[in-house]
Structure 1
Amino acid sequence: MYVIGIDVSKYKHDCIIMHEDTGEIVRDVFSFDNSRAGFVQFISVLKTLNPTLKKKIGFETTGHYQDNLKMFLADNGLDFMELNALLVHKFKSSLTLRGVKTDKTDARLIANYLCKVEFKPYPKIVYNILSLRSLCKRHFTLIKDRTKYLISITNFLDRTFPELKPFLNDNIKSKTAMFLLRKYGIPSKIANMNIQSYELLRKLSRGKFSVAKFYKLKDLAKHTIGFTYPTDTFEIKSLLNVYDSINEEILKVETKISTLMSKINSKIPTIKGIGLVSAATIIAEIEDINRFVSPDKLLAYAGLDPRIYESGTMSSKGKMNKKGSVNLRRVLMNCAESVIMFNPAFYAYYRKKRDEGKAHRVAISHLARKLVRIIFKLETTQVDFDPSLVK
């Protein structure tokens, strides 16, 4: 069998080919570009090998730089294995204490590591899942951007009209708050609102914005301790335009995610409290549930498994590992927070952990682990969620 180790980088990839049994080098380290021509060059080298011998191709996961190579190998019917970079680094540490790192030595290291581990081919690539992952990451980025601009709007109000936030119960995302900022922007204009402005506010709030509240707002704006610059009207409009634009993009992305989810057979959305985007993110990060032989493997992939320390007669379990998929762990922890509001069974389990003396965040992490085991059960058996699964 041939072992083919590839060190992936942004513009080129370094590759070495050797025999697994003897360690004999068939083709010493060579480079090929991260381009169509480079990949064709790589395939042409593989065609010179003995066709009767199988090939083990492996490379580390390095952000997104390996994605094009993965798709090309899959399209050409070649099996490959993604390697955990941390495990490869630990393997290197077991071989030498020297701090040597080059692309060529990394390619050799990856090939040697492939010789030592069981070859687990990457599951068949499903384009809907890859598209879903990309959209979910885009959605997360947009949410972060929206939060950043909301903070900027808050900071603007802290300077120009600090009394407005407490007046609106700190809800500057409300329709009333956004109406005031879009139409008037600065306190001097809010102070000069007329009765027509009140009618607009009353209709917007469905009658909840009273006359007394209207005149109190005008008085707060007139006597505010805040100060304004001549450019503040322009600034708040600029902030709101970007904020609105991000909201529009979020809606578009969520529509696309919904369309893709309709083409994917998953039972995760049957769990009340897990929203569309959260379910999509979990599905996209797992990719194929058959990659995991047990719930424990899925827990480890999410980085939710506890650290275990044993020495002599001492044995203990510590904090969660946090060595797996950051995106999967984040969304599972968030889902654990939300399912307790919609599922009595999940809340009972959470309450049980709290009664044992565990802090809120620790209890949520236990619930996230329980959620992983339930998700594994639903996806492997293709059954809808049943509260009896929460024990």
Structure 2
Amino acid sequence: MIYAGIDIAKNDHVVGATDEHGRDASKPMKFANSAGGFDRCVAYLEGLAESKSDLLVGMEATGHYWLPLFCRLQDAGYAVVVINPMRTDAMRRFKGSSRVKTDIVDCVLVAETLRCGGFQPSRLGDEAVIELRQLTRLHQALKESVADLKRQVIVALDQVFPEYDSVFSDTFGESSKAFLKRCPTPEECLAVRADSLAKTLERASHGKLGRPKADEIKGIAKASCGIGLATSAFSFQIKLLIDQIDFIEGQASEVEARIRAGIEKVEPLILTIPGIGYTLGAQIVSEIGDVRRFRNASSIVKYAGINPSISQSGKFSSEENHITKQGSPYLRRALYLAAMAQLKLKSPFYDYYAKKRADGKSHREALVAVARKLVHVIYAVLSKQEPYDPNAAKSPELASRSE
């Protein structure tokens, strides 16, 4: 068996190979991250073994740069393994070369990690799942962008109009945003006639707000203790940020519509689990990918990085309170949000959470325990292709497996 390791970078990759005894099978070769470079890599691999079945190719999951080459090699018929960089770092320490890091050394380390690790070929999943993964990650990025913009608005308002958070129940509701687009500073608010301001509020609130609210805001603006310096700059900033929030939220809505259609097509059964809606369900399904690549639910727990870390020395063995976080951050976040939803809904998982809290676990520890148990239910739904069974969350056997 020949093991080929590829060191991934933005512009150039390096491929090297070892045989089943750890001896160099060929001199490492650098090739460009381009169609021509990929052809050179395929030609290199063709010269390593008589049959493709006698060759296993490995590469680190370095950012997003590995994906085009992975697809090219898969299309060429090679079995390819995507390796967590932590595994190759462990091999580097094992070989005593932690201070040595070059492209040549790294590609051989990947090959050695592949040889010693007992890996199975990786699979990306079908096109619909990949599309769903892209959409859910895009949606998350858009929501994070909106959250950052909102923080910037709050910072500006705290300086120029500190009392504003008492004006509306939701600073970023439609009525509040309409007001901020027109007069975000006390000076501008006082300069606008009350009747005109009332009409703005009435349109934005669909008739729920009007002259009384306008008079209230003017009274608050008149007594404001906000700074009176550079107010035109603050006003411009706030108006611009609100426009950006509206624009990005509109984009997020478009993405949500695509996600909704996608999850209905790919795996609607995930939606039968309480607390898991379209976007969250799509992220869980797309990040797990083909559930058949996992031996059991515990494998998904480990893949998500929500398994507890273990410290062991001699006869001493201790499960530490923190999780490993050595997995997919996207899946970990989605499972955490799904666990939080169980508490809000007081679903059957809530009793399990309450039991953990009664056992002395902190809120976070109990919540992670719920997430682990939830993974077992998700695995059962996806692998058996059966709707969620409420009794599954109460199963003592399931609880013991998810500890």
Q: Could you say which TM-score interval applies, normalised by the shorter chain?
A: over 0.9
Q: Could you tell me which residue of structure 1 aligns to residue 163 of structure 2?
A: 163
Of 257, 274, 279 in structure 1, the residue corresponding to residue 276 of structure 2 is: 274
Give the CA deviation at 1:258: 2.1
Contact 1:3 1:19 in 2 (8 A): yes
Q: Could you tell me which residue of structure 1 aligns to residue 399 of structure 2?
A: none
User: In 2 relative to 1, CA 126–90 (structure 1 residues): closer, same or farther, beyond 3 Å?
Assistant: same
Q: Could you tell me which residue of structure 2 aligns to residue 47 of structure 1?
A: 46
Q: Could you tell me which residue of structure 1 aligns to residue 398 of structure 2?
A: none
Of 360, 365, 383 in structure 2, the residue corresponding to residue 380 of structure 1 is: 383
Which letter does structure 1 place at the counterpart of 2:307?
Answer: D
Partner deviation per Cα, 1:337-367 (whole Å, 9 max, x = no partner): 1122235312222222223332222211111
Contact 2:5 2:110 in 1 (8 A): yes
Q: What's the TM-score once normalised by structure 1's chain length? A: 0.92
Indicate yes or no: 2:229 matched with 1:230. Answer: no
Identify unmatched segments of 5+ residues in structure 2.
395-403
Distance 2:193 2:50 in 1: 82
Contact 1:292 1:298 in 2 (8 A): yes
Of 252, 264, 287 in structure 1, the residue corresponding to residue 254 of structure 2 is: 252
User: In 2 relative to 1, CA 177–74 (structure 1 residues): closer, same or farther, beyond 3 Å?
Assistant: same
Alignment of 1:51-66 (within 5 A): 51-52=50-51, 54-66=54-66
What is the aligned length? Answer: 389
Q: What's the TM-score once normalised by structure 2's chain length? A: 0.90
SS in 2 for 1:15: strand
Distance 1:316 1:47 in 2: 48
Q: Percent identity?
A: 31
Contact 1:14 1:31 in 2 (8 A): yes
Alignment of 1:1-391 (within 5 A): 1-20=1-20, 22-52=21-51, 54-97=54-97, 99-123=99-123, 125-169=125-169, 171-191=170-190, 192-202=192-202, 204-205=204-205, 208-209=208-209, 212-228=212-228, 229-318=231-320, 319-391=322-394
Give the CA deviation at 1:206: 5.6
Give the CA deviation at 1:336: 0.8
Contact 2:3 2:17 in 1 (8 A): yes
Identify unmatched segments of 5+ residues in structure 1.
none
Give the CA deviation at 1:208: 4.8
Which letter does structure 1 place at the counterpart of 2:337?
Answer: N
Contact 2:309 2:324 in 1 (8 A): yes
SS in 2 for 1:101: coil
Distance 2:113 2:148 in 1: 43
Contact 2:267 2:285 in 1 (8 A): no
Distance 2:156 2:70 in 1: 46
Give the CA deviation at 1:153: 1.2
